[in-house]
Structure formats: structure tokens, C-alpha cells
Structure 1
Amino acid sequence: MWYVITDGPMKILKVNTTATTTECAPKMVEKHRSEWTTEDQKKANLDNVAKDILYKTLDKKMFAKIKTCTTAKEIWEKLTQLCEDKDQTKENKLTVAIQKFDNAKMKPGETLTEFEERFSSIIIKLIFLGKEYSNREIALKVMRALPR
């Protein structure tokens, strides 16, 4: 399956009996769909299977960015391009997340559940970016973030 993602859809080939290459090796030509065996159909369908797997792993925002791609290889190349974080970009994201952590306060009218969800998303983002706080640091921050 990985070959379909890295090399593109499989071509179903057969030996061309009317021509040979200069080294006397048989020349390969693409099979017509009417000649496909069950095994050939499975190979030809691998690109659809790979696309389906890739689609199922994406959220709506990311799916919108790749929905025009026609092959699993195109999808993978687009995702690689979109998701490659350069060091500077990652550092900027980390700085912003640390600032959000440092400035986290419970908003007026915000329920404890809403605050917990918002604060948890900040912690998750920090962990994803490689910054982790101890449970003690997190507990102290939460206590300071709550209104008196």
C-alpha cells in the first residue's frame, strides 16, 4: 500500500508479445480493463483504499485543503507540504502557547467546565510542541487562574 502513496496508482501491465526491447527483454504495455483479473482489480483499487484511509484521518479543515487531489500520492505530497513545520514556525507556535498558558485566567461568566476545556487545549498544544509542565506547575497555574 505504501508504494501507492509514494509512487502513485499502480498500472496493470502485461507483456507485449509483438515487440521486445533492445536487450531482448519483453516490453510491457498497460492491460485493458476488460483483461483485468480479480487480482488486477484489487491492485488497481489500492489507490482508492489509500485515499480512503488518508481521508478518515483528517479533520474538516485539513480535508478542505486536499479535497481536489486525485490520487493518494497527491494527497500525501500536499499533506507533507502543509504539515512540515519549519523550526521558526514551531518556535513561534510554542511562544504563543506559553504566553496563553502564562496569561490563562478564568473569564467572567465562564463555567469551570469551559475553563477546564480551554486550559486543557493549551496544555495539549504545549505537549505537542515539546513543552511539558509538571502536575504541580499546572495545579498552581489553575489555582492562580481561578477568580477569588
Structure 2
Amino acid sequence: MFSKIKTCTTSKEIWEKLIQICEGNDETKENKLTVAQQKYESIKMKDGETMAEFDERFSAMVIELTSLGNEYINRELALKVMRALPREWDVKTMAMRESKDLNKLELHDLFANLKAYEFELETRSEAGPSTSQPKKALAAKHQQRAGTQSDESVAKGMGC
């Protein structure tokens, strides 16, 4: 970097050169903004990604966009995060949409809430299977009924 500014004679020249080197010209800034906006628009939480990792990735993206001149209101960011979560989070995000004022919900508060929920889910899954597992119970009942019906069908077909 020094080699690029060593010919500058004033501190103002050095500063302007550093800005140009780090930020680029107007075209470079536009390209950076376009790429950052595309990343923002398509962001999704990855399989196996923790909420802390997603928070870090999303927040870094927002900081980058803000440094490039984009500003977002709390509601926009909260809704974007909620839409970027997998379907397993739908119940939680619906509850948050209904119970929270998204215009006042700061990004760090949103992620703190989501991390607490994630921790609660992990704690429950480590504690072992719950006695109340509606999906599994319904599936087991369905399989039992299907098994009973098919046994009866076989018996009728055999003339029993």
C-alpha cells in the first residue's frame, strides 16, 4: 500500500488516494453495491448453520450495504431475516410478527430472541424424546390403522 501513496506530497493527497484505493471509483462502488444487493435479496439460512452464524453473515451484509449508501428500517430487516429462515422457523416468526412491533425491533434484539429459541429447541432435543410428539403419534396411529385394514383385506381375500 505504501508504494501506492509514496509519491503523494500532502496529507490530503494521501487521504484521497487511500479512499480511491479502498473504495474505488464510482463505477466500482456501483458494482459493489449491485453485488451486495443481489446477495441481500437472495440470502437464506444454510442447512446446519446456527443462528449465531447466520446473524454474523446477515449483519456483515447489512454493514456492507450501509457503507455503500443503503439504509434500512428495522421492519425491513426483521422481515428479511424472517423470510430467510427455513420453514421450521415459521411458527416462531409468525408469533413474532403478531406480538412484536417490527418498526421498533432492533436487529440485535431479533437475533437474540431467535438464538434463545434455538437454544431452547436444542435443550429440549438433548433431553430426549417428549411424551407429546404429535407428528410421530399420528404417523404411528395411521400405520397401525393401515396395517389392520390391510390384514383384514388379506383375510377377506383368502376367504377367512
TM-score by length of structure 1 reads 0.48
Q: Higher strand fraction: Structure 1 or Structure 2? A: 1
